[in-house]
Structure 1
Amino acid sequence: MTRQTEQTRQSTDDLIALLDAADRLPGAEKLRALSYDLLGAEPGTCVVDVGCGAGRAVAELAERDVKAVGVDPSERMIAIARNRWPEADFRLAGAYELPLPDASVDGYRADKVFHELGEPQRALAEARRVLTPGGRIVLFGQDWDTFIIDSDDPALARTIVHARADMTTSPRAARRYRSLLLDASFGDVTVDVHTGVFTGPAMLPLLTGLAEGACSTGVVTREQTDRWLAEQRARAEADRLFLAMPMFMATATAPR
């Protein structure tokens, strides 16, 4: 195994650990269930989960007697998903070229995916292709510019958030869900915001990732990063940490 391959594997494993932690956060299971309801995921329907990661949503949809297909562009992700849920249907593919026939699924779900896409319009064209007429689409994710973090140095916190956002392919995709869906000729478009408020140490890995990412760009110094993270750890220990994270959930109907 080459050094680059090892680094890629470690990066993927770190992402899986972060996603697993996110799945265990208060309210996460309820929001996943809401996304399934909005899809109309009833027994006998077929749903594709795009960017399925380690496959939890596919497994939960299968528990509803839904025929669920999970796709992800990461071989490592797909391997872990297949290991965790060996009876489920997982396929290696990206959002632009889904391994599905035209008009073959009743629902399309993408959770924390569109901020990674440089061409969201292309992904939505592919969603329209695979959805049956009148099929449902649900897009779910955070806007990377809208993490709300209490800090003794609010200017530094703001700089860290925006610097980390600028490292993301489409950091503001979530605020564009409605316009993107309308431009792609979807109908019945709605957008809701579900804001999680976190006050404990469980979110320290996320805050660390934000700060270290900002530091890697050179926008903030090592000293600033270490100082800010020390403050956040102290806040967590004193039960004074505060992070609010709005999650945007958009739903729409494919043209008939």
Structure 2
Amino acid sequence: MRDQDADAWDVWGAARPGRAKTNAAGASTWFNWTQWPDHGPAAETLLGNVAGARVLDLGCGSGGNLAHLATLGAEAIGVDVSAVQVSKARARWPHLDVRRSGAEDFLKDGAQGDHGFQAVFSVFGAAWFTDPAALLPLVHARLTPGGSYAFSHNPPALRGCYGPQASQMPPPENGAEPWYVKRWDYEPATWAELLRHAGFSDVTAEVIAPPAGKRTGTLLVRGVRAG
């Protein structure tokens, strides 16, 4: 990402309240694939058993999902381009391995190394805001055979308007004009084809219905690196 993108995500992160101390069940850590609290499948449904596994969160934000995987026994690593979000994650979850980096840069640094991941995921994170033509091959290269890649984000907002879109970020407090970052909107079938083209198998892509009283569902995509 460009420096301007990092600045935009810093403004966004500063405006976010962060994850609540506990969820409705009273748990101090939990995993959300969707934008709605206590809604959607469990982490293991898409990522498998993460106990002892190396797991990577692309665009980890303030670290809530990553922290939950650590409690399940994962060797959890998170990357985020925003210094504000990384600081929040480290302050609340000092035991986590959270690094400031763009997703592409992090994956390129070790794409040829022997330290792979059993699972890579992104919840409303870098998978939505990085060109899949560049990101998907990099993720595939860092997964171990049989490893899972899963991500979620909003379904396309406008029917027929697919591909890279301009996403407006909150305006800075100094009154300057808001920044824009790119996001990539595709229907489930297109995401599935993109993953298959990048070498993934056992691909699933669907929109999860929202909870009662909410209008927007969540697009959830998963693929596996063949063994």
The TM-score normalised by the length of structure 2 is: 0.71
Pairs aligned (count): 187
Output the CA distance in 1 between the equivalents of 2:216 and 2:121.
21
Q: Give SS of 1:28's match.
A: coil
Letter in 1 for 2:56: V
Deviation at 1:174, TM superposition (A): 5.6
Tell me the C-alpha RMSD between the 2 structures: 2.9
CA distance change for structure 1 residues 179 and 89 in 2, over 3 Å: closer, same or farther? same
**Paired residues for 1:1-256 under 5 Å:** 9-14=10-15, 16-17=16-17, 20=19, 28-31=37-40, 34-98=42-106, 100=110, 101-113=113-125, 114-117=127-130, 119-145=131-157, 166-168=165-167, 169-173=182-186, 175=188, 176-197=190-211, 199=213, 243-256=214-227
Structure (1/2) with the larger strand percentage:
2
Runs of 4+ deviating beyond 6 Å: 5-8
Structure (1/2) with the larger helix percentage:
1
Query: Could you tell me whether the CA contact under 8 Å between 1:136 and 1:253 is conserved in 2?
Result: yes
Could you list the per-position Cα deviations for residues 32-60 of structure 1 after superposition, in whole angstroms to 9, with x for gaps in the alignment? x5233311133111110111000001100
Deviation at 1:171, TM superposition (A): 4.5
Output the CA distance in 1 between the equivalents of 2:56 and 2:9.
26
Query: Could you tell me whether the CA contact under 8 Å between 2:70 and 2:76 is conserved in 1?
Result: yes
> Unpaired runs of 5+ in structure 2?
1-5, 21-31, 168-181
Q: Give SS of 2:203's match.
A: strand
The TM-score normalised by the length of structure 1 is: 0.64
Output the CA distance in 1 between the equivalents of 2:55 and 2:200.
17
Could you list the per-position Cα deviations for residues 164-213 of structure 1 after superposition, in whole angstroms to 9, with x for gaps in the alignment? x95332341463321210110100101232121464xxxxxxxxxxxxxx
Letter in 2 for 1:110: S
Deviation at 1:140, TM superposition (A): 1.0
Deviation at 1:122, TM superposition (A): 1.1
Output the CA distance in 1 between the equivalents of 2:14 and 2:205.
32
| Higher Cα Rg, which structure | 1
